[in-house]
Amino acid sequence: MTVEAPVSHLRENPYDIAREQLRRVADAFAIDSNLINVLSECKKSVVVSIPVGMDDGSVRVFEGYRVTHNIARGPSKGGIRYHQDVTLDEVKALAMWMTWKCALMNIPFGGAKGGVICDPKQLSELELQKLTRRYTSEIINEIGPERDIPAPDVGTTPRVMAWIFDTYSMNKGHSVLGVVTGKPLQLGGSLGREEATARGSLFCIREAVRKRSRRIEELRVAVQGFGNVGSFLAKFLAEDGAKVVAISDSRTALHNPNGIDVPAAFAHKQETGTLEGLRGAETITNEELLILDCDVLAPCALEQVITGENADQVKADIVCEGANGPLTPTADEILEDKGVLILPDVLANAGGVVVSYFEWVQGLQEYFWKEAEVNAKLNDIVVRAFNETWATRETRQTSMRVAAYGVAVQRVAEATTTRGLYP
Ligand code: NAD
């Protein structure tokens, strides 16, 4: 049986969006059109079929992808997504965003992404392991510590990274710590990696709030998504003194204008696997969460949740893109016109790849750092990138997104030009 891709939740083609964003940046920063032609394409896209012997004795064939967008600044880096709506164009867009994200953070990586069309929640642990090991074998010539280094994304976990690490290492005949990041701590993972994306978002929000001459303690925050990024971001913001007035997962959204008990939500989600049934908050929809009366809105689930249809109803003053691509370009324009400060994904959720970089460095050296050291270095890199983006925004009188992309694309363009076109 071959598994067909279901109709995607994406209304617009993300690769078209990513290319359109690049064109806008090229115009704003007068970047050579020949270079933009090169950067608009992905260097390599691999499509693999993944046959898996299922628990019931049948064989299902899944489709998987690994895309490298650019390697001008170093080996490519990017997560692997297990989701039923994955498409090749989505993976290409995510790979391109990874190139800009690594360049903006000024870490020595290019961009890549992977994906398998599957619903991991519908697979047993054994089926998931078989799928992961076969997918790894199919892309084994593409990945490696000096070549392309995968990491977790939606639907993949440290457990999945451990299977990738093991499969790759078994084929090489020795442990290769640098082949993948987001590994469990006992297998060469980095302290602070699990919370790193949310911590990076927190650092950006702190800076943005300061620029707006406000204090975190007076903010009401709504967070969409209670997975890796959303749950830790809600926790950190609550710890900083903000009032988290709404949270959500795929099944439910919860609202309490007086503040949700985030540690209780953590415990409830861990115990029951859902936010449904959490006491002390009113149930709303995920759509209502996005347009709630709040100061900071952090979409931390999927792409394209704020569009031309709902953007003018958004009331937040700061939007922090914890997820990749949660705003469509039309939504972006509407919010910019309203004076909303948008912290773009390539800046706001880059904490994960920064600590993945630290994990890769630690793995190559087989020398591991303390958590405080990881978090302090993360703060340095994210705050520097925030300030570079802010300064570019001011001098160019443009949005944070165009400024962030501008800084990033210029760095990649410079590396590409300096290396020269081969042959
Ligand atoms: P995750 O799988 O851990 O969590 C996703 C969350 O979104 C879950 O709570 C899920 O229930 C919720 N969700 C799913 N569909 C939803 C819907 N239709 N409406 C509302 N909520 C929904 O994933 P994650 O790692 O937290 O990633 C979330 C986003 O952040 C993705 O866009 C991902 O690419 C991006 N991101 C993640 C990392 C990372 O290190 N994990 C780094 C950078 C960017």
In the chain the domains, ranked by start, together with CATH numbers, are: 14-176 (3.40.50.10860), 196-348 (3.40.50.720)
Atom 2 (ligand 1) nearest CA: 154
Using the atom order of ligand 1, give the atom closest to the CA of residue 352: 40
pLDDT digits (tens, 9 = 90+) for 175-224: 999 999 999 999 999 999 999 999 999 999 999 999 999 999 999 999 99
Whether the link from the prior residue into 423 is cis, omega within 30° of 0, is: yes
Cβ 17 vs Cβ 96: under 8 Å: no
Distances, alpha carbon 276 to alpha carbons 41, 186, 236, 254, 282, in Å: 42, 33, 22, 9, 11
Residue to substitute in 84, 90, 249, 272 for testing ligand 1 pocket (most ligand atoms within 8 angstroms of CB): 249
Sites in the chain below the pLDDT cut of 50:
1-6
Provide CB contacts within 8 A for 319, sequence distance 6+.
Answer: 296, 297, 298, 299, 306, 327, 335, 340, 341, 342, 343
Cβ 246 vs Cβ 258: under 8 Å: no
- Distance (angstroms) between ligand 1 centre and the Cα of 204 equals 18
SS (H, E, C) 103-119: HHHCCCCEEEEEEEECC
Neighbours of 47 (CB within 10 A): 12
Using the atom order of ligand 1, give the atom closest to the CA of residue 182: 40
DSSP for residue 2: B
Q: Could you give the CA distance from residue 330 to residue 307 in angstroms, rounded to a whole number?
A: 6
Helix 193-211 crosses helix 351-365 at what angle (to 10 degrees)? 140
Concatenating the DSSP letter of every residue in 273-334 gives SSSTT-SSSEEE-HHHHHTSS-SEEEE-S-S--B-TTTGGG---SEEE--SSS-B-HHHHHH
Tell me phi and psi for residue 219, to 5 degrees: -95, 145
- Distance (angstroms) between ligand 1 centre and the Cα of 250 equals 9
Tell me phi and psi for residue 343, to 5 degrees: -95, 105
Radius of gyration of the chain (CA): 21
Provide CB contacts within 8 A for 59, sequence distance 6+.
Answer: 1, 51, 52, 53
pLDDT digits (tens, 9 = 90+) for 366-413: 999 999 999 999 999 999 999 999 999 999 999 999 999 999 999 999
Residue to substitute in 302, 355, 356 for testing ligand 1 pocket (most ligand atoms within 8 angstroms of CB): 302
Most distant CA pair in the chain: distance in Å? 64
Q: Is the pTM of this model over 0.85?
A: yes
- Distance (angstroms) between ligand 1 centre and the Cα of 322 equals 8
Exposure string for 116-150, b = 16+ CB within 10 A, e = fewer = bbbebeebeeebbbbbbbbbbebbeebbbbeebbb
Look at residue 1 in the predicted model and tell me its pLDDT.
43
Look at residue 7 in the predicted model and tell me its pLDDT.
53
Residues with CB under 6 A from ligand 1: 152-155, 197, 224-230, 248-250, 286, 300-302, 322-324, 349, 352
Provide CB contacts within 8 A for 300, sequence distance 6+.
Answer: 198, 201, 223, 224, 225, 227, 229, 230, 233, 322, 323
Tell me phi and psi for residue 52, to 5 degrees: -130, 125
Atom 14 (ligand 1) nearest CA: 250
Q: Would you say how long the chain is, in residues?
A: 423
Name the strand (E) or helix (H) holding 176: none
Look at residue 8 in the predicted model and tell me its pLDDT.
61
Exactly one of 113, 130, 243, 269 is catalytic; name it: 113
Using the atom order of ligand 1, give the atom closest to the CA of residue 326: 32
> Can you list the alpha helix ranges (DSSP code H) found in 139-189?
158-172
Name the strand (E) or helix (H) holding 191: none
Atom 30 (ligand 1) nearest CA: 323
Look at residue 4 in the predicted model and tell me its pLDDT.
44
Look at residue 10 in the predicted model and tell me its pLDDT.
72
Look at residue 298 in the predicted model and tell me its pLDDT.
98
Q: Could you give the CA distance from residue 180 to residue 87 in angstroms, rounded to a whole number?
A: 22
Closest CA to 80 of 200, 168, 173: 168
Instruction: Note if 269 is an active site residue.
Output: no
Atom 23 (ligand 1) nearest CA: 154
Using the atom order of ligand 1, give the atom closest to the CA of residue 249: 11
- φ/ψ region of 324 (left if φ > 0, alpha if ψ in -120 to 50, else beta) reads beta
Helix 400-419 crosses helix 14-29 at what angle (to 10 degrees)? 80
Closest CA to 16 of 35, 50, 40: 40
